[in-house]
Chains A and B, each alone.
Chain A
Amino acid sequence: MTLYHLAVERMALRGKIVKSLISLRRCASGIAFVPSEPDPSLGETTRMNLCQAVNNAMDIALANDSAACLFGEDVAFGGVFRCTVGLQEKYGKDRVFNTPICEQGIAGFGIGMAVCGSTAIAEIQFADYIYPAFDQIVNEAAKYRYRSGNLFNCGKLTIRTTWGAVGHGGLYHSQSPEAYFTHAPGLKVVVPRGPIQAKGLLLACIQNENPCIFFEPKLLYRSAIENVPIGDYKIELEKAEVVKEGENVTVVSWGTQLHVALDAVNEIEKEVGVSCEVIDLRTLLPWDVDRVVKSVNKTGHLMITHEAPITSGFAAEISTKIQERCFVRLEAPISRVCGWDTPFPYIFEPFYLPTKWRIVEGIKKLIDFQH
């Protein structure tokens, strides 16, 4: 029995625990997940949701590398999102273990392991709780190699954390803090949009010789199901993916929001016949400038959409860079459809999020822009 099957069984058994944490039915924003097709060259596939794909990636990482360890709060029994189910039984208590509740400690500990050449996969239970580790991540992990003249590094550190809106997470179970970290040279920041990407990108992060932060869109843990290759494969970091080709407007997004963007694009194509190209950035730092430039040079219109608040959100960086590189090709000001500049609210979530309808409206304005 593969670990994947084991995990499915256990999940069924313990599903009740999880339901109180995540309930898609209660998700007012109701995103429509658009599955991707697996690369046929990667061989046999099986149906996995995003949570199982993450579990499967870590299973492979632990199997491949006896120095790899997985740790964080409540990971030993399988994790509060069940991403680590079955791994402690399979690899032992010294490789998959709980830590005290202390995010700065988890990040510091992971750096220390990586400094000694061990692969450290640290979990922060929610991205909302990564800030106590901010100093360790930004001042230490990101700068380790640079400041020591490459005498020491913590390249074998990967920090995984659950990320993004979930329907009812309120202020501290919904945040998208990627822009805080994209300002820290030395880190790689990665967000997958589905199970296939999650597995390939996570394996790439774990093997990458730079400290990586891997944000897992928690709304997709169970709702996103794809045919995921069962073998060991990696998706190259720092490469954006054109998820849908189009002619008139480029829409850039990542994570859960990518699906909202796809939904909006389908709507607008139906409604007004505007052809949109949708790009999943996947790696936010360092990001694939060239791919976005290529697209915008073709379409002349760019919209960037993310859940995080708009001011100083990562869309601002993309927008500025593209304005520099595509100035003469742009036919309208770059549009950003993002969260409002408020904390992430509980009951108002449907009005806070950059919904499909806000994107639809935004694209119409882009197209109708008059000089």
Chain B
Amino acid sequence: MLSQFRRCFIPTSSQMSSVVVLRESLQSVILRHCSTASDFRIGEFTDKYLSHRKVEFTEKLEIPSPYQQSTIPIYRVTNSEGEFIDPNYDPDLTKELAIKMYQNMITLHQMDKILYDSQRQGRISFYMANAGEEAAQIGSAAGLRDDDLMFGQYREAGSLLYRGFPLESFMHQCYGNAKDIGGGKQMPIHYGSAKHHYVTISSPLATQLPQAVGSAYAFKRERNGRVVIAYFGEGAASEGDAHAAMNMAATLKCPVIFFCRNNGYAISTPATEQYSGDGICGRASGYGIHAIRVDGNDLIAVYNATKAAREIAERNEPVLIEAMTYRISHHSTSDDSTAYRSTEELTTWNQKDNPITRFRTVLQNKGWWSDEEDKAYREKMRKEIMSAFLNAEKIPKPHILSMFDDVYKEMPKNLQEQRNELAEHLNHYGKHYPMKDFQGI
């Protein structure tokens, strides 16, 4: 066996093809240290096939069952009552930061209520709320540097809010009015802001994940110290692009954090019909990336985990964070979730483990926040949001012919012709179109 193997391998470089010559030096090093074929092969498998992870032969025929392996634990700092379980993990947030995060959660919640209702009244066409996932969004945003690039799915408005995206801008986008910095081209909640390093949301799921890896690679080459965070739901993690992204991030060593919001449902599909493994986190070791599962309703746990993940990502090692949470809201305004889940389940989550109330207790225990302040802040934000909302509603839609802008950097001739054709058509048939809602032509 051994001699046979050696016959295959030992030929000198002169007998090898040109491609093999390139690898000659490497192989001769290995050869010197290998006394047996098994040693040689273990060396090869360890170094070349398994990225230097030491592997051994075994003579036991065992096919491990995934159910024998322990699941990855859920990291938490506070319990559902907002008490620190191990005070050593209190990150010593400044009062200022803690209150900012809390207020952002309240604002997001209030904004959701107003915009959700406005859709119900037919004032905007579509909305997706964030209820139950406020801590996952805001805690992770707070754990990053403000110039780290964010790629989102669609349920991360809180991360953008944390970065200081104005309430007015959220409203303008949902209305697609002339002040929408996105030009009124996309459905509501597809926010984006270059100023806030938040890449514009698109509807196709998981497409942002390999893109985030490419951006992280660009940052690595620029040595600018920035990292990229890519948010996605556990449903989107089933897409091929999620696989592509994690594998590429690991093999190309990119400073990226994959942040999965595992909220138990992808529209009506429960997580048990989405995957059979140890959640999303359980996949990470298969790709060779760091991973942590975190209590997504524990703002401090999410914040700590993201901060720690960022330090790893900065060393060009990707990290996956799976935040375990629950989608309190319907999937969207086009969905009635009572058709596939019980009201009781929903109420229990909302009452027993609400991320906002949990963090409020933390603040109150520190003496940083009171019920009066809470009530007053909610009311203040409700008014501010309503005012921004009503203001946005009054602003006309953009210039009709701006529909043709930004398809390309410059406008090609065929588009110029089509723009003129529409303008000419509207000259004659404008009365059949909602001209008055727009800035004109």
Contact = CB atoms under 8 A, between A and B. Distances in A.
Is this pair of chains taken from one and the same complex?
yes
Interface of A: 13-14, 17, 67, 69, 77, 94-95, 97, 99-100, 102, 104-105, 107-118, 120, 132, 135-136, 139-140, 143-153, 155, 185-186, 188, 209-210, 238, 286, 289-290
B409 A110 contact: no
Interface string B207-233: 101111111111101100000000000
Contacts of B199: 115, 148, 152
A286 B413 contact: yes
B202 A286 contact: no
B63 interface: no
Given A116-B219, A148-B200, A105 B210 contact: yes
Nearest to B195: A151
B18 A139 contact: no
B210 A112 contact: yes
A255 to B, nearest CB: 21
Given A108-B211, A109-B248, 19 more contacts: A17-B19, A77-B19, A102-B243, A105-B213, A108-B210, A112-B210, A112-B215, A112-B216, A113-B215, A116-B214, A116-B222, A135-B204, A140-B211, A146-B185, A146-B407, A147-B190, A148-B200, A150-B405, A152-B194
Given A112-B216, A286-B414, A145 B409 contact: yes
A185 B418 CA distance: 13
B interface bracket (residues with beta carbon within 8 Å of A): 35 or more
Nearest to B210: A108
Contact of B409 (A99, A102, A153): A153
A154 to B, nearest CB: 8
B214 A289 contact: no
B421 to A, nearest CB: 12
Contacts of B207: 108, 135-136, 139-140
Contacts of A120: 214
B245 A151 contact: no
A289 B240 contact: no
A117 B217 CA distance: 12
B247 interface: yes
A151 B200 contact: yes
A115 B244 contact: no
9 contacts: A99-B251, A102-B244, A102-B248, A113-B217, A116-B222, A136-B207, A155-B409, A185-B407, A290-B413
Given A108-B245, A113-B215, A146-B407, A67 B192 contact: no
A149 B244 contact: no
A238 B412 contact: yes
B252 interface: yes
B252 A99 contact: yes
Contacts of B185: 146-149
B193 interface: yes
A104 B412 contact: no
Contacts of A209: 409
A144 B194 CA distance: 13
Contacts of B247: 100, 102, 105
Closest 7 pairs between A and B when the two form their complex, measured CB to CB:
A112-B214, A108-B210, A105-B244, A149-B183, A112-B211, A148-B200, A109-B214
Contacts of A117: 218
Contacts of B193: 151
Nearest to A185: B407
Given A112-B211, A136-B207, A185-B407, A150 B218 contact: no
A210 B183 CA distance: 19
B180 interface: yes
B243 to A, nearest CB: 8
Contact of A111 (B214, B216, B408): B214
A14 B202 contact: no
A67 B221 contact: yes
Given A99-B251, A286-B412, A116 B182 contact: no
Interface in B390-408: 405-408
B183 A69 contact: no
Contacts of B18: 13-14
Contact of B218 (A97, A107, A116, A145): A116
Contact of B217 (A77, A109, A140): A109
B204 to A, nearest CB: 5
Nearest to A140: B207
B149 interface: yes
B227 to A, nearest CB: 12
User: Which of A146, A186, A286: most chain B Cβ within 10 A?
Assistant: A146
Contact of A149 (B19, B182, B217, B248): B182
Contacts of A118: 218, 221-222
